[in-house]
Amino acid sequence: MSDSIAIELRDVVKRFGDVVAVDHVNLQIRDGEFFSLLGPSGCGKTSSLRMIAGFELPTFGSIIIHGREMGITPPHLRPVNTVFQSYALFPHMTVAQNIAFGLEMRKTPKEEIARRVQEALDLVRLSGLEGRRPRQLSGGQQQRVALARALVNHPEVLLLDEPLGALDQKLRKEMQLELKSLQARVGITFVFVTHDQEEALTMSDRIAVMNKGKILQIGTPTEIYERPNCRFVADFIGETNFIDGVVIGRDGNYTVLETPEGLRLRGLASRPLSNGTTATFSIRPEKVRLLTPNGELPPDGIAGTVISVNYIGSDTRITVRINDRRTIDVWEQNTRSTLDRDEYWQPGEAAVIVCPPDNALVLYE
């Protein structure tokens, strides 16, 4: 991965009538990067992708691909290829004809087309199926044909619009890893649109989280998960406990927040917050520790009562009530292989929750 920029979006706005689909987006995608645009439906991620591909033109702002301002360049003259959500394979052509289409449009010599189609088929492990029609293929195979049809052109950038959305869970997981390793092998910049946060975390080098046409945060999967910069990102990525309160001061590296019922909580703030600011304390359920009470509350400890215990295989999800208004979710990994659940937490049992301040965040908004 080099530091040169494959794609740049400069202050891009897209309006459809009165609706602002993309709202002043600035973005730099590096060469060879697996970059994901992540957000709920209608957040502007697909519109952004379609503008890069050239299917839509920005209302204003500019899109630059490898230093070239795209302007009103039509899709067929852009150095990118797209894998569509519905695959958009040509039903009246065979697999080989589908894959050869882009090369034929570029007037590639016949022998070279044959060779590159075969390479592309090998790349997506579909050799032997070149004579089939798309409708004779399974969903996963169609997906691979769509990939091969795009990659055979050696595009500078590959755009993928929720390409795994139509696959079942197991196949999806397989394809995630396959796509990731494929990208590493071909070294092409991938821009991947998804609403599935787990998918984005698994595959991406970097992620841009979008909501309502705006980019909220850009970062590596770890940064996005461990240091979300706002409540929306923390909420959208993974599970989180939120407690609203007011900032009352600082304690070393930590910002201290007080809830209306007088609970004091410490965590890392994504930026300095002045006293009196309304903010949200946030901690992931797997980062909360649950202890048996021994008379004295440890630092950052809160007394509570276990109200439900759900065993889900890899871990156990426990909900603890800490006062009349609030519950906190705690996930404990099932590190021991035991059938005896009686010795585990029971509903109604008293417990102490500890929120280590290094694992907790104080978020503005």
Partner 1 sequence: MAMLQQQQQRRDRIRLALLLTPGLLWLILFFALPLVIIFVYSFMSNDALGRVVYEPTLNNYITIFTQSLYINAYWRSIWTSVLTTVICLLIGYPLAVFIARSPQQWRMPLLMLILIPFWTNFLVRIYAWQIILANNGIINGFLELIGVGRLSLLNNEGATLIGLIYGELPFMVLPLYAAIDRFDFTLMEAAADLGANKVQAFLRIMLPMTMPGIVAGSVLVFIPTLGQFVVSELLGGAKVDYLGNLIQRLFLRANPINWPLGSAMAVLMMIVLLVFIMLYFRATTEEER
Task: Give the three-state DSSP class for 220.
Answer: coil
Under the binding rule (CB under 8 A), the answer on residue 48 touching partner 1 is no
> How far apart are the C-alpha atoms of 176 and 196, rounded to whole Å?
11
> Cβ–Cβ contacts within 10 Å for residue 342, how many?
6
Site for partner 1 in 114-173 (CB under 8 A): 149-150, 153
Contact yes or no for 145/98 (Cβ under 8 A): yes
Near partner 1 by CB under 8 A: residue from 101, 190, 254, 281: 101
Under the binding rule (CB under 8 A), the answer on residue 19 touching partner 1 is no
Stretch that binds partner 1, among 31-39, 80-88, 202-210, 227-235 (CB under 8 A): 80-88
Near partner 1 by CB under 8 A: residue from 39, 44, 102, 213: 102
Near partner 1 by CB under 8 A: residue from 68, 106, 115, 125: 106
Which residues are CB-contacts of 347 (< 8 A; sequence separation ≥ 6)?
306, 307, 308, 309
CA 71, chain centre distance (Å): 29
> How far apart are the C-alpha atoms of 241 and 220, rounded to whole Å?
22
Instruction: Pick between residue 77 and residue 339 the one whose CB is nearest to partner 1.
Output: 77
Sign of CA dihedral 101, 106, 112, 116: negative
Residue (of 220, 232, 231, 216) closest to 26 by Cα position: 216
Least Å distance between CB 45 and partner 1?
17
Near partner 1 by CB under 8 A: residue from 76, 135, 170, 271: 76
Least Å distance between CB 174 and partner 1?
24
Near partner 1 by CB under 8 A: residue from 53, 70, 224, 265: 53
Under the binding rule (CB under 8 A), the answer on residue 91 touching partner 1 is yes
Sheet holding 315-321, edge to edge: 289-291, 350-354, 301-311, 315-321, 327-333
Sheet holding 68-69, edge to edge: 19-30, 5-16, 60-65, 68-69
Least Å distance between CB 21 and partner 1?
17
Instruction: Pick between residue 92 and residue 271 the one whose CB is nearest to partner 1.
Output: 92
Q: How many positions of this chain bind partner 1 (CB under 8 A)? A: 24
Residue (of 26, 65, 9, 20) closest to 44 by Cα position: 20
Under the binding rule (CB under 8 A), the answer on residue 105 touching partner 1 is yes
Kindly state the tokens that stand for 339: 């059938």
Under the binding rule (CB under 8 A), the answer on residue 75 touching partner 1 is yes
Least Å distance between CB 241 and partner 1?
42
Least Å distance between CB 120 and partner 1?
13
Residues that bind partner 1 (CB under 8 A): 53-55, 74-77, 80-82, 84, 86, 88-92, 101-102, 105-106, 149-150, 153
